Amino acid sequence: MEIKNKEKAIIAEIDNTEKQIDHKRREVNDLLINGYFADRSILELRYLESYLQELNSQLILLAEERENLADEARRQGIPPGYLRR
């Protein structure tokens, strides 16, 4: 049961990170289509790409963590399909 709870937490974090990426990409697309106000910081716009890369790196780490959890479950004798999304 502990492994299942860990997996639920990882999945929730993955979903949250994916939502952040989608939100930020929509924001970038909106800025590219409609332009941006002069009071918006140019520095903020410059670092959007690095922010998106950071979120994508976080997704990769979460996927690795989920794989490690599946390995741990396998070692404990939990069937492979038990932890499927």
Say what the pLDDT of residue 27 is: 82
Q: What is the mean pLDDT of residues 30-49?
A: 71
pTM of the model: 0.70
State phi, psi for 69 to the nearest 5 degrees: -65, -40
Asked if residue 24 lies in contact with residue 59, where contact means CB atoms within 8 angstroms, the answer is: no
pLDDT at 80: 74
pLDDT digits 0-9 by tens, 19-38 = 999 998 888 778 777 776 66
Evaluate if residue 39 carries a pLDDT over 70: no
- Count the alpha carbons within 13 Å of 52 in the hemisphere toward its beta carbon: 14
